[in-house]
Amino acid sequence: MKTRTLKELLLYNYRYWFGYSIVVGFIVYFLGWQIGSLQGGISQPELAAAARHTSVAEIVKLPIYPLHSLLQFLSFKLFDINLLTIRISGSLLGLFVAFTLYSLLKRWFGKPTALLSTAIFISADWFLSIARLGTGGIEFSFWLCLALLCFTKLLEHRTKWLLLYVFSLAGLLFAPFGIYAVITLIVSLFACRVFRERTQQAPLLIKVLSVGLLLTSVGLIIYTSIQNVEFIKNLLGIQNLPTVGEYVKNAFGNMSSVVAVLPNANPVISPTGIFFIRFFELIFILFGVIMFWRTRVNRLNLTVLVLSIVLVLASGLSAGSRGGGLVLIPAAIFMTAGIRHLVHRWQRTFPKNPYARVGAYVPMALLFISVVSLHYVSYFQLWPNQPTTQAAFSRDFMLAKTELNKADYAQKQCFVESTDQSFNRLLVAANTVCTPYFPQSTISQKLPEALLVKPGSPLISTRTKRVLTSDASTDNIRWIVLSNKAVN
């Protein structure tokens, strides 16, 4: 029996299974842990998005983030409406992003670097704040990453990937700000001779189907825009045009979201009142940008650089998850390039002795643990415990739903005082024991068994009063329940 050296034992082919297990463990933990209880409530953007996805008619009326919309609609139908089903679709898309990103990075930078970078990306608070939010913003990153992967496949003479490439472009067209990425990718496809040749090598049927799919998508966008002008405004990101100062602030904040936590940022996706710089991401992203610029003769690298500039400029039109989510994939690519540059230089520093080279990975492992720990503390400890973050995530929906479910009223009808149409639509769509109604005016004589009112409303002395409180809110009394009889 042949004796293996230490180098052969440590560097055999199955060594990657350790990296795979870390990535899978990170996906399960960071994308799933406390997904329904970390913030405890629902943000207003999540509430508005979930309300649109309670019916197919509403999805068709405003078909933005179509994949997320369908996944959320199915989760509502299968498992009712709650915090978990509102956010599970985003986490599932985050899993798709992680898998697609690893496939892309593996082809560009090699398997070891891709595994390391993907693990860091999955644990990053700037990724989790978008992926675990039930607004669908992570879908943009999925289609963009898939488009770049298909772009790479085309360069490898795999011309059948042209159809999937066009399909990913069609998905981007239905994501806010996706049209800017599509224009950049199409211009790059036809502006470079190598890209054009790869496209022309595709079978005629593939080209016909690709052109037909793209034209159909554009036609659907034009038709829907005529029916609903808000649709095209959403796609272009111009619902509320910012001032020049707001535009610069949004662009700077969105670009900085991957390398710093800024005070007074959007509480829905980042902590407030705290400032710190993630030097790991900053240094390696800068290394990656320099590497891509120095090798810009590679047209694919030049395409990524131009695409990144376009997305940063487009992100200035919006703050929050939509604007911040535009730069996730470019940042991950540049960070991976920087890590690859460091690993290459680090390995050249040591002799070919396998013991020395294995020992050289010890400080890199410590650096990896430190970065992941910082990501964990930032997202799971700092962010949810900020007062502004707690105020941005309202507990009202779950408080009202719990009350309507545990109430045992004879007529099975309860009035809820609320003027928020998204809140009302979502509460009606949820499965509750007592059917909610929303009167325009509060008249005690015409009320059924119970009434849920906001604090500050005139109380009715003839009814039994109870309060619904939220411990995590600065205002503990969230609702006052009035009923003809005491409710256990």
Task: Report pLDDT digits (tens) over 171-191.
Answer: 999 999 999 999 999 888 888
Residue 1 located in a structural domain = no
Q: Indicate if 343 and 432 belong to the same structural domain.
A: no
333 and 469 both lie in a single domain: no
Give which of 334, 361, 478, 341 is closest to 417, Cα–Cα. Answer: 478
Considering all CA atoms of the chain, what is the largest pairwise distance in Å, rounded to the nearest integer?
92
pLDDT band of residue 404 (cuts 50, 70, 90) is confident
Say whether both 366 and 427 belong to one domain: no
| 141 and 328 Cβ atoms separated by less than 8 Å | yes
If asked whether residues 174 and 50 sit together in one domain, one would say yes
Q: Closest Cα partner for 369 from 360, 377, 381?
A: 377
Confidence of residue 1 (pLDDT cuts 50, 70, 90): very low
Q: Quick one: 374 and 425 in the same domain?
A: no
Asked if residue 488 is part of any domain, the answer here is no
SS3 content of the chain, % helix, strand, coil (to 5): 65, 5, 30
25 has pLDDT over 70: yes
Specify which residues 469 forms β-bridges with.
477
**138 and 20 co-located in one domain:** yes
> pLDDT above 70 covers what percent of the chain?
85
Mean pLDDT computed over 19-29:
85
Q: Report which of 326, 343, 337, 258 is spatially closest to residue 300, judged by C-alpha positions.
A: 337
Whole-prediction pTM value?
0.88
Token couple for 202: 């595709």
471 and 453 assigned to the same domain: yes
- Residues 353 and 407 grouped into a single domain: no
Residue 441 and residue 325 share a domain: no
Do 164 and 30 sit in the same domain of this protein? yes
Q: Are 343 and 113 in contact (CB under 8 A)?
A: yes
For the chain, the domain total comes to: 2
- Are both 99 and 213 inside the same structural domain? yes
Q: Is the per-residue pLDDT at 140 higher than 70? A: yes
pLDDT of residue 254: 82
Q: Are strands 450-453 and 477-483 parallel, antiparallel or unpaired?
A: antiparallel
Range(s) of the domain holding residue 377: 6-391
> Any alpha helices (H) in 124-242, and if so which ranges?
125-131, 138-155, 161-173, 178-191, 193-200, 204-227, 229-236
* pLDDT tens by residue, 75-125: 999 988 888 899 999 999 999 999 999 999 998 888 888 888 999 999 988
Q: Does residue 409 lie in a domain region?
A: yes
What is the C-alpha to C-alpha distance for residues 221 and 215, in angstroms, rounded to an integer? Answer: 10
More confident residue, 476 or 436: 436
Q: Which of 328, 360, 391 is the last residue of a domain?
A: 391
pLDDT over 90 for what percent of the chain? 18
Q: Say whether both 370 and 407 belong to one domain.
A: no
Dihedral sign for Cα 275, 280, 286, 288, please: negative
For residue 193, the number of C-alpha atoms closer than 13 Å in the C-beta half-sphere is 1
Mean residue pLDDT of the chain comes to 82
Residue 448's pLDDT is what? 59
Q: Given 391, 415, 438, which residue is the final one in a domain?
A: 391
- Within 10 A of 37 (CB to CB), how many other CB atoms are there? 11
Polymer length in residues for the chain: 488
Tell me the average pLDDT across 251-265: 79
